[in-house]
Structure 1
Amino acid sequence: MPSSANPPTTSALRPATPLHSENGGSPLVLLLIAVCTAVTAANIYLAAPLLPLIAREHGTTAAAVAWIASVAQLGYAAGLLFFAPLGDTANRRRLVGGLTLVTTVALVAAALAPGTGALAVAVFVAAAATVIPQLLVPLVAERAPAARRARHVAAVIAGLFTGIVAARVLGGLAGQAFGWRWVFAGSAALTLVLGLATAAVLPSERRPRAASLLSGIASLPGLMRRSPDLWRACLRQAGMFGAWSALWTSLALLLTGPAYGLSTATAGLFGLFGLAATAVAPLAGGLVDRFGAQKVVRWAYLVAAVSVPLFGLGGHTMAALWPAALAIHAALVASHVANQTLALTTTSTPAAANTAYVVSGFAGAALASLVAGPAFDRLGWGGVCGVAAVWLLIGWAATGAKRARRGR
């Protein structure tokens, strides 16, 4: 029966209490959370489409400054380790407001950075503080009706991926028109307005435990040991996110390089194919609620496996890049909805579990990006596709492990 496929651990979450139910604004609050998630998630990938412009200003190549994009991902992973677990213990309204202010200041510093070193530091701090989406997703999961939990989570995830893809599209266009510094300044303004507005509508919480930056980190190893489902979700998404990151962060290098010779703005428009794939999130949420996370992840990996050879062909023909971009984004979104829903419902501390899950994903993405840059320099676009294939194999091993154990 489809219903039996749902994760049996959803009872670990507290009973659903609608967001801001006292004024009946729950749907509007969910929409605001999704939009805030989109804007703040975009900050992590803001540098990627601007690399050619940053390199040109500093008299170097785009490949030589590609490490800045990896710094942002590592900063986000560090912020998740310290700040995201506080969602189980701290007042999330105050936490979201404080992190919004830090992110805004760091983005302004990035816009004013005199060199690549200062820019990297500012990007790291901005990414570390912009963990707001991963404080909001557990909140939504806690307060959603159990039968529609994955769909509510999917709505926020759709906002997250819309922001990630829009960062490439709008960032490239705005960077070409106004310069890369104004892109960081504009993102600072949007983050400030939407972050503070979201903080204002969140429920005020009184938590019985004192929040500590280190207590959340200390709890993660034991949490992973106690929950095999969480461990598998982490490894699955690390593989999928790593494959996506290797391809997507290197795509600007291919499109603006000798193979195609596109401008930064034109290359940024390519992200519209990925934006279209975010429509998969609501569908994936419904499938997870009906069939369970395991099946959805297997389908997602199958789609991703098809996309890698298409990306390989895309090194020579633009027509292959179009379906490849749609496929890898659809696979990533579906896998993320399934794995994150499982991670949020498998323990009684969803914020800490979410931290372990998202840190694993972004660590996998950051490592893949770090490897993809040198691979592109030495082996070309085929090397980047090889990195993506390796990361998918790592994630697939975790996906198949549970099936093999069930067979025995």
Structure 2
Amino acid sequence: MTVAETRTGTGSDMATPTGTGTDVRRGTDTDTGRDPAVPSDTSRATGAGPRPRARRDGPPTGVFLAVIALCTAVTAANIYLAAPLLNLIARDLGVAPSAAGWIASVAQLGYAAGLLLFAPLGDTANRRRLVGALSAAAGVALVVAGLAPGLPALGAAVFAASAATVVPQLLVPLVAERAPAARRGRHLGVVVAGLFAGVVAARVLGGLAGQAYGWRAVFLGAAGLTALIGLATAALLPAETRPRAKTHPSAILKGVARVPRMLATSSELRSACLRQAGLYGAWSALWTALALLLTGPGYGMSTGTAGLFGLFGLTASAVAPLSGGLVDRFGVTRVVGAAYVLAAASVPLFWLGGSWIWALCAAAVLLHAGLTAGQVANQTRALTSTASPATANTAYIVSAFIGGATASALAGPAFERWGWGGVCAVAVCWLALGWLGAARRRPGRATRTR
């Protein structure tokens, strides 16, 4: 077990798909999950030291969490909106289905860009205004996407909409600040459930709505829903009294510049980034091309029926809360290894799924379980790898999405040239690169990056 693994604190607090922006210091007590040098009152039990907390003057806790979860689901869905609609988009714009596959990777790259540019502002900017502005911007970009006359315009609009869809990264820290220490994991779990619900909704409901009303109606509907829910959430956010520094473009650029330096100096962080990029890349390649397989001559499904395969994403909702306990009990390394075993076992089943539907179903369950377990374990490692967890979390999520976007971009051409077997080969390559690329991680003490 590595040093970082013995300092994970409470698995439920750390095992979330987004960073809380909390400074996880060294010397954390492995039993209580707090810094022994910090008083143990609930206002300081995060291990982050004295820090002003958001004033609890907002709506009741239940209403607050429900609104945050709904907003997270709606905004997260925008990243995956195009994936089940690729066949419809290609047919409407007069291009080959494989030629439209890069739209899915553009969405992931846009989200990565938004993380770098907007997520750091959550520590300094007014979150009410920022959430409202980003929600409105995403809504406008989705309208442009729904009216796009061709693939280039559609790709640019999807990129912009996905870049503005970083609202969950701004809301999760607020949930962590307001939650009592003893219930922080449960509160964050509600938001995580909203995140996965959004992914499933984009796949399932997006495919069904696209089949019934066309892909343009799906984007236009998502635009209205994003703007409505986003602005309503911004209005309900509690007033914040914490001191805020002025935000300058130079400060944002300095924060972005710290990411490569941190990756270069922290072997633990590099390991987490590479391992999750491999898992997420394999998932992205298979899931992007799956709609092409199911709606192709082999299965001949409608877009709506093919979209029902998104229901297998509910596997992630079941695995996520279990993975935190496994990390706490067995350590990050073992859980990541198990995640790769599950993902690797799914690839032969996906290959068989080119002809057998039962194999596709089994493979989808294994792959989602592996992806989610890896997400929880690798993010725990990333957040405990340095003295700057917020920057480490940015590096981690951006790396994962770049890995996923690159694999998605290759999946379309691979499917066109070599069929479903070519897509499975892309997934194998990404799993191999993710595992072997992090295999030479230096043992011993993790580097503290300042």
TM-score when normalising by structure 1: 0.90
What amino acid is aligned across from residue 237 of structure 2 in structure 1?
A: V
Tell me what 1:321 maps to. Answer: 360
1:38 counterpart = 2:87: no
Tell me what 1:373 maps to. Answer: 412
1:220 counterpart = 2:256: no
Shift of 1:161: 2.4
Shift of 1:231: 2.2
Shift of 1:239: 0.8
Query: Matches of 1:395 and 1:245 in 2, distance apart?
Result: 14
Shift of 1:247: 0.4
* Aligned CA distance change for structure 1 residues 63 and 106 (closer, same or farther; 3 Å): same
Gap regions ≥5 residues in structure 2: 10-22, 27-46, 445-450
Gap regions ≥5 residues in structure 1: none
Query: Matches of 1:229 and 1:142 in 2, distance apart?
Result: 27
1:128 counterpart = 2:172: no
Query: Matches of 1:359 and 1:4 in 2, distance apart?
Result: 22
What amino acid is aligned across from residue 247 of structure 2 in structure 1?
A: A
Q: Which residue of 148, 151, 154 maps to 1:113?
A: 148
* Aligned CA distance change for structure 1 residues 336 and 150 (closer, same or farther; 3 Å): farther
Q: Which residue of 52, 72, 77 maps to 2:107?
A: 72
Q: Which residue of 89, 96, 99 maps to 1:61?
A: 96
39-48 or 188-197: which moved more? 188-197
TM-score when normalising by structure 2: 0.82
Indicate if the aligned counterparts of 1:51 and 1:65 stay in contact, CA closer than 8 A: yes
Give aligned-pair identity as a percent.
Answer: 62
SS of 2:443's equivalent? helix
Tell me what 2:247 maps to. Answer: 210
Query: Matches of 1:231 and 1:115 in 2, distance apart?
Result: 38
Indicate if the aligned counterparts of 2:347 and 2:363 stay in contact, CA closer than 8 A: yes
Tell me what 2:209 maps to. Answer: 174
Shift of 1:216: 2.0
Please show how residues 162-311 of structure 1 align to structure 2 within 5 Å: 162-199=197-234, 200-204=236-240, 205-212=242-249, 213-311=252-350
What amino acid is aligned across from residue 109 of structure 1 in structure 2?
A: V
Tell me what 1:11 maps to. Answer: 25
Computing the radius of gyration over CA atoms, which structure comes out larger, 1 or 2? 2
Query: Matches of 2:227 and 2:405 in 1, distance apart?
Result: 26
* Aligned CA distance change for structure 1 residues 202 and 373 (closer, same or farther; 3 Å): farther
* Aligned CA distance change for structure 1 residues 4 and 256 (closer, same or farther; 3 Å): closer
* Aligned CA distance change for structure 1 residues 138 and 223 (closer, same or farther; 3 Å): farther
1:355 counterpart = 2:391: no
Tell me what 1:161 maps to. Answer: 196
Deviations 1:367-408 (A, max 9, x none): 001111111111111111111111112222356445x836xx
For the aligned residue pairs, the C-alpha RMSD in angstroms reads 2.7
1:394 counterpart = 2:395: no
* Aligned CA distance change for structure 1 residues 26 and 19 (closer, same or farther; 3 Å): farther
* Aligned CA distance change for structure 1 residues 46 and 330 (closer, same or farther; 3 Å): same
Tell me what 1:405 maps to. Answer: 443
What amino acid is aligned across from residue 82 of structure 1 in structure 2?
A: L
* Aligned CA distance change for structure 1 residues 134 and 161 (closer, same or farther; 3 Å): same
What amino acid is aligned across from residue 341 of structure 2 in structure 1?
A: L
Query: Matches of 1:289 and 1:36 in 2, distance apart?
Result: 30
What amino acid is aligned across from residue 282 of structure 2 in structure 1?
A: A
Query: Matches of 1:30 and 1:18 in 2, distance apart?
Result: 17
86-95 or 113-122: which moved more? 86-95
Indicate if the aligned counterparts of 2:289 and 2:412 stay in contact, CA closer than 8 A: yes
Query: Matches of 2:363 and 2:239 in 1, distance apart?
Result: 41
Shift of 1:72: 1.3
Indicate if the aligned counterparts of 2:68 and 2:171 stay in contact, CA closer than 8 A: yes
191-200 or 95-104: which moved more? 191-200
Tell me what 2:30 maps to. Answer: none
Would you say how many aligned residue pairs link Structure 1 and Structure 2?
Answer: 404
132-141 or 265-274: which moved more? 132-141
Shift of 1:78: 1.5
Structure 1 or 2: more helix by fraction: 1
